[in-house]
Amino acid sequence: MSEAAEPALGVVGAGVMGTAIAVLAIGHGIPVVLVDVSEDRLAGARRRVEAQLRHARLMGAAPAEVAAGLTTTVELAAVAGATAVVEAVTEDAEIKAKVLGEASSLVAAGTPLVSNTSGIPIGELGRLVARPDELVGIHFMNPAYLITMVEVIRSARTSDATMTAITELLARMGRRGIVVRDAPGFVTSRLLHPMINEAARLVAAGVAGAESVDDLMRGCLGHATGPLRTADMIGLDNLVDALSTLAERTGEERFQPCELLREKVAAGHLGLKSGKGFYEYEKVLT
């Protein structure tokens, strides 16, 4: 008798973060079912996963001998047997809550549900989930397959059993989670995003160019990439959404995205994924 196949990790959303999380999992031997709304998006996701998996191996971030399988589908029902489900859709509370609610109706009791949000409170996202004690936040950084630390957000209703399961899942993927309490922006976005916003204001005011701002932050303050190159990696559209979420949920005006960020998004200059943001790039694989 053959051994039963290992349950897959369900990942809903085949964008920048969803594909990177898929690479992280399959690169550590965990099969993935990747779900999105169209076959065209999934075809692009498969190409990105293949390219990123090669990159992960070259960087020593994914052992070549343990890669697992990837299944792509437009049917959310395919996550029904998953060992856990990660929601990685657009940073919109209504869309995220709807996806999480639908996923919770499909999976067995005891299956952890994860939101990969950069700042929407987990307790808020749990309003449509059948079992809110099984919901937790994991803020993966981009690229998820290279950055080994993650922010884990425990809501007031997240159970000990869910936290144990998530800790074990992260350990299998070689990740260390730092657990924080639920709040708008958590820790990383609450600190990083306002810094990026202020850096963009300095550029808009003509105080310094983007490269000079980043050089000063790297050389003087030890920031690994500089705030504006980091913004391009996050995606300026994602950044504007996250800042708007912080402003709405805290009531603090300083979190409102500055005009330069809004202008770049309106022009389609979204950063690395579009080929242009504060810097210019070769367009990423689609």
Sign of CA dihedral 271, 46, 171, 158: positive
Q: What is the DSSP letter of 159?
A: -
Give SS3 for 173. coil
The tokens describing 132, both together, are: 């809110």
Backbone phi, psi, residue 103, to 5°: -65, -40
Place of tokens 């884990």: 152
The DSSP result for 49-111, as a single string, is HHHHHHHHHHTTSS-GGG---EEEES-GGGGTT-SEEEE---S-HHHHHHHHHHHHHHSPTT-
Strands (E), the chain: 9-12, 32-35, 70-73, 84-87, 113-115, 135-139, 149-154, 176-181
> Which residues are known catalytic residues?
139
Alpha-carbon distance values, 106 to 2, 30, 77, 130 (Å): 27, 20, 6, 10
Listed residue (180, 189, 184) closest to 120, CA to CA: 184
The tokens describing 134, both together, are: 């099984």
Contact 53, 80 (CB under 8 A): no
